[in-house]
């Protein structure tokens, strides 16, 4: 099983919203004792046991819009189908703090997913979507500026809980499969068109 966290390499991007996937992979690596990352597949990877299963953790170092150039070679090397791949990524369309599991679908404007879809040729991988929310109306820049910006003070205070929730969601996928994980994880999150938060 290949578990991919999406993000951009380098200290400049380390604590930005777009690097939520890297943050989750780092947390998994720490909790499961897989912190010996090595360079391969145009990325950093670690191989071993996590959540009771054999996994490969991968953080592409290609920059976000070329993530598929890392994921596809890793899949070929390990002889994995798209259904054996889990991608953890930031999600604008979920409020900050929410986590959802999804199988298939499009890229919804996410350049990392766009690249993976183009290189892998199939949407049938699992996604763990980490909610970062959309920029407020008062935000001076565009969406690209927003995702490449650091978390604000309120978000930073809640970030450890968000990362932990994403790790737990990922654990459910690895241990129990995507269908069971969707039933357990997604039921905890209110529907997107539900009651507005005050």
**pLDDT mean values, one per 10 residues, the chain (198 residues):** 98 96 98 96 97 97 97 98 98 96 94 97 97 92 94 96 98 96 83 40
Per DSSP, the residues of 61-88 read -S-GGGTHHHHHHHHHHTT--GGGEEEE
Per the domain annotation, does 128 fall within a domain? yes
Per the domain annotation, does 198 fall within a domain? no
Per the domain annotation, does 181 fall within a domain? yes
Q: Which of 18, 89, 107, 110 is catalytic?
A: 18
For the chain, the domain total comes to 1
Distance CA 29, CA 38 (A): 13
Residue 188: predicted pLDDT: 73
Could you confirm whether 107 is annotated as catalytic? no
Residue 192: predicted pLDDT: 46
CATH number at residue 123: 3.40.50.1470
Per the domain annotation, does 102 fall within a domain? yes
Residue 190: predicted pLDDT: 54
Q: What token pair was written down for 152?
A: 């604000």
Per the domain annotation, does 10 fall within a domain? yes
Q: What token pair was written down for 189?
A: 């999150």
Q: What token pair was written down for 163?
A: 């990362």
Strands 2-5 and 53-60: parallel
Per the domain annotation, does 196 fall within a domain? no
- Tell me the helix, strand and coil percentages in the chain, rounded to 5: 45, 20, 35
Per the domain annotation, does 95 fall within a domain? yes
| Contact between 20 and 38 (Cβ < 8 Å) | no
Per the domain annotation, does 107 fall within a domain? yes
DSSP 179: H
Distance CA 145, CA 113 (A): 18
DSSP helix/strand/coil, 4: strand
> Residue 54 sits in which domain range?
2-188
């Amino acid at each position: 099983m290949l578990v991919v966290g999406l993000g951009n390499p380098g200290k400049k991007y380390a604590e930005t919203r777009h690097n939520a996937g890297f943050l989750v992979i780092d947390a998994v690596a720490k909790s499961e004792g897989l912190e010996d990352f090595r360079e391969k597949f145009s990325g950093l990877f670690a191989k071993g046991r996590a959540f009771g299963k054999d996994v490969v953790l991968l953080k592409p170092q290609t920059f976000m819009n070329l993530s598929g150039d890392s994921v596809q070679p890793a899949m070929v090397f390990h002889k994995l189908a798209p259904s054996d791949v889990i991608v953890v990524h930031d999600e604008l369309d979920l409020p900050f703090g929410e986590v959802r599991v999804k199988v298939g679908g499009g890229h919804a404007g996410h350049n990392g997913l766009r690249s993976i879809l183009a290189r892998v040729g199939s949407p049938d991988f699992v996604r763990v979507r980490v909610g970062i929310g959309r920029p407020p109306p008062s935000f001076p820049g565009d969406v690209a500026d927003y995702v490449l910006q650091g978390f604000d003070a309120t978000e930073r205070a809640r970030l450890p809980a968000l990362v932990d929730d994403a790790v737990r969601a990922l654990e459910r996928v690895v241990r129990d499969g995507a269908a069971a994980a969707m039933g357990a994880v997604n039921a905890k999150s209110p529907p997107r068109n539900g009651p507005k938060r005050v």
